[in-house]
A and B are shown apart, each in its own frame.
Chain A
Amino acid sequence: MLMSIDSISKSYNAFPNPPAKVLHDVTLNVDTGEAIGLVGESGSGKSTIAKCMLALIKPEEGAITYDGIDVIHARGEDLRRFRREVQMVFQDPYGSLNPRMTVEELIGEGLLIHKLEPTAAARRARVAEMMEMVGLNPNDMDRYTRSFSGGQRQRIAIARALVIRPRILVCDEPVAALDVSVQAQVINLLQDMQKKLNLAIVFVAHDLAVVRHLCEKIVVLHKGKVVEQGTREQIFDNPQMPYTQSLLAAVPVPDPVVGRARRAARRLETAN
């Protein structure tokens, strides 16, 4: 087991109201090389879990352990190693990349911070190699992000996260802001990287069809609690909890015959 999250709870201040508890006793594990999907509606706490996994916020209760490191209390060398080995990709590739940095600076920043490549030439080589890997042209290294499309920017964000060879990549809705025709490119890239680098991916998303496509393990969240977790087959073919069932039934299917039959069946059920 690479990372374990053990019954964490988290509240946000809501002054003058009492603090709002957004996570209740959440437990889940991430294994090396596996893609795990956190799904749920808005307010289910899926992004809060992702932030806890990245040590961007700290839960009040429970423990998070990454490869022997107590993440919540980590300092010094332990924290540095954690920050190097657990990386993230955000939803909005327009807001998460500094417009004043070139692609080389953006992708190479991690190498510099973690002192992984001592010379500029070596860094440049690593950046070029990484760009090639995610399907970008290394000749574009000196350009700024404004001239890239949304899909290319998300590739830059992925390259930036992967260049320092993390073992876990946490992605919070990485394709939600992308066009349909480009979304598939980024999903395929993530899948490819997972296999090539034996990378664990934590994929936070509300689109269940995308999660089913990418993740072998699924955690279903509702109001800050884990409703159900299991393998892709368990959750999608044989969901046990009524909440999971209702969530799956509501996913629209891009096929008029199947889609309408599903809706008709569901309406019959709610009418009875």
Chain B
Amino acid sequence: MKTVHPLPDAASVVPVRQPLISVDKLTVDMPLGRSGSSVRIVDGVDFTIGVGERVALVGESGSGKSLTARALMRLDRLAKLSGRVDFDGTDLLKLSDRDMGKLRGSSIAMVFQDPMSFLDPLMTIGDQVAETLRIRGIGKAEARKRALAVLDELGVDRAAERLDAYPHEFSGGMRQRVVLAMALVGEPRLLIADEPTTALDVRVQDQVLDLLDDVSTRRGLAVLFITHDLGVVAGFAERVMVMYSGRIVEDGEVASVFAKPSHPYTQGLIKAVPRIDQDLNTLYAIPGAPPPPLARPSGCPFHPRCDQRFDRCGVDLPALQPVGMSRVACHLLDGKGA
């Protein structure tokens, strides 16, 4: 079935979704060498992803978007996490390592940017896809059968023959399908995709996005898509969360955020991307660069680069608060001098 989801028009009712995962005041601290001190990379993040919802998490390098996603699966052993991550009624941060391990792959799965370094070059494709199931005690023949079914579903040609092939025999796009198959074979309900198309050429990227779109619709799979590419966000996600310097600064429906971004950072990002379908004019450039996590400015972390800042911005950290159907962290919404 090949359909692209129509955008809900502004007047239509936003469907109420059952929440699948709720993140509350999540912080991630990473240790600095062996000094015993640490640096806060993710600084209090709250969000909810509904069942079957496709959410994009956008941010620049160092904004904490990857660490936020990895924290949901507790992938970084050295990271110190606090807050709550509720998945289906259980707080993932309180689970034992053993129980968390059971959840990975079967409830939440992840795909990464570089398919080549993720695949074991010495293991056949079939074995790698089936591994998730084998670990869970499913028999060899059954696991292989299900691996084949997933590869088929993801459009790997002659999947039956290629179960015994090795990763080097696959092209970049096909490898990304294999990685996707490994994530999906355990039938997770949330897929975290960390820049899965960044290393791919545009035409292959496009195919992988179509594939993700189809699978998510067919299976009712929720997707958290991490990217820095606003073009990908616009074409794929229903909702977008923008991260800057360890915090979410804007969260809203894709259509409304792109049509009318509220946070100056989001506004700047959208204006700074050259578009293939628009008249040429001078690109808007956000001055400066994102702050390193050890030298965050006081107040709003974006204020030194913001062209709409006023005196309060350098002092108070703005909270993420509801604005219409979105959430935005910016003092401008309270009005100047308020």
A212 contacts which chain B residues (CB < 8 A)?
274, 276, 280
In whole angstroms, what is the CA distance A128 to B201 when docked?
A: 40
Task: Evaluate contact between B234 and A149: CB separation under 8 angstroms.
Answer: no
- Select one of A182, A185, A253, A260 contacting B4, CB under 8 A: A260
Task: Evaluate contact between B202 and A181: CB separation under 8 angstroms.
Answer: no
* Per-residue contact bits, chain A 155-183, to B (CB 8 Å; 1 contact, 0 not): 00000000000000000000000011111
Task: Evaluate contact between B282 and A252: CB separation under 8 angstroms.
Answer: no
Closest residue of A by beta carbon distance from B281? A213
Task: Evaluate contact between A209 and B276: CB separation under 8 angstroms.
Answer: yes
- Most chain B CB within 10 A, of A41, A180, A260, is at A180
The answer to whether A76 has its CB under 8 Å from any CB of chain B is no
The answer to whether A42 has its CB under 8 Å from any CB of chain B is yes
B289 contacts which chain A residues (CB < 8 A)?
149-152, 179, 181-182
- Select one of B2, B276, B284 contacting A251, CB under 8 A: B276
In whole angstroms, what is the CA distance A245 to B282 when docked?
A: 26
Interface-side segment among B26-34, B99-107, B225-233: B225-233
B228 contacts which chain A residues (CB < 8 A)?
179-180
Q: How far is the CB of A272 from chain B (nearest CB, A)?
A: 11
Closest residue of B by beta carbon distance from A232? B280
- Select one of A184, A213, A267 contacting B284, CB under 8 A: A184
Residues of B162-207 whose CB lies within 8 A of A: 172, 201-206
In whole angstroms, what is the CA distance A246 to B204 when docked?
A: 11
A256 contacts which chain B residues (CB < 8 A)?
7, 234-235, 254-255, 258-259
- Select one of B202, B259, B287 contacting A250, CB under 8 A: B202
Query: Which range holds the interface residue count of chain A?
Result: 35 or more
Task: Evaluate contact between B282 and A188: CB separation under 8 angstroms.
Answer: yes
The answer to whether B19 has its CB under 8 Å from any CB of chain A is no
In whole angstroms, what is the CA distance A255 to B209 when docked?
A: 16
B275 contacts which chain A residues (CB < 8 A)?
209, 253-255
Task: Evaluate contact between A181 and B286: CB separation under 8 angstroms.
Answer: yes
Main secondary structure of the interface of A (DSSP, over half): helix
Q: How far is the CB of A43 from chain B (nearest CB, A)?
A: 9
B209 contacts which chain A residues (CB < 8 A)?
252, 263
Task: Evaluate contact between B274 and A209: CB separation under 8 angstroms.
Answer: yes
- Most chain B CB within 10 A, of A42, A183, A255, A257, is at A255
Closest residue of A by beta carbon distance from B229? A252
A149 contacts which chain B residues (CB < 8 A)?
289
* Per-residue contact bits, chain B 254-291, to A (CB 8 Å; 1 contact, 0 not): 11001100000100111011111100101111110110
B210 contacts which chain A residues (CB < 8 A)?
263, 267
Q: How far is the CB of A96 from chain B (nearest CB, A)?
A: 18
Q: How far is the CB of A259 from chain B (nearest CB, A)?
A: 4
Task: Evaluate contact between A184 and B286: CB separation under 8 angstroms.
Answer: yes
A184 contacts which chain B residues (CB < 8 A)?
272-274, 283-286
Task: Evaluate contact between A248 and B276: CB separation under 8 angstroms.
Answer: yes
Known: A213-B274, A260-B235. A180 touches B280 (CB 8 A): no
Known: A213-B280, A248-B276, A255-B275. A206 touches B7 (CB 8 A): no
The answer to whether A264 has its CB under 8 Å from any CB of chain B is yes
Residues of A64-98 whose CB lies within 8 A of B: none
In whole angstroms, what is the CA distance A20 to B255 when docked?
A: 47
The answer to whether A236 has its CB under 8 Å from any CB of chain B is yes
Given contacts A180-B273, A253-B276, A258-B234, 17 further A-B contacts (CB under 8 A): A150-B289, A151-B289, A152-B289, A179-B228, A180-B60, A180-B230, A181-B290, A182-B286, A187-B283, A206-B201, A248-B276, A250-B203, A253-B235, A253-B277, A254-B275, A263-B210, A266-B206
Q: Which 7 A-B pairs have the closest CB atoms?
A: A252-B231, A41-B201, A254-B230, A149-B289, A184-B285, A179-B60, A259-B235
Q: List 10 A-B contacts (CB under 8 A).
A: A41-B201, A151-B289, A180-B272, A184-B283, A184-B286, A188-B285, A212-B276, A254-B231, A254-B273, A255-B234
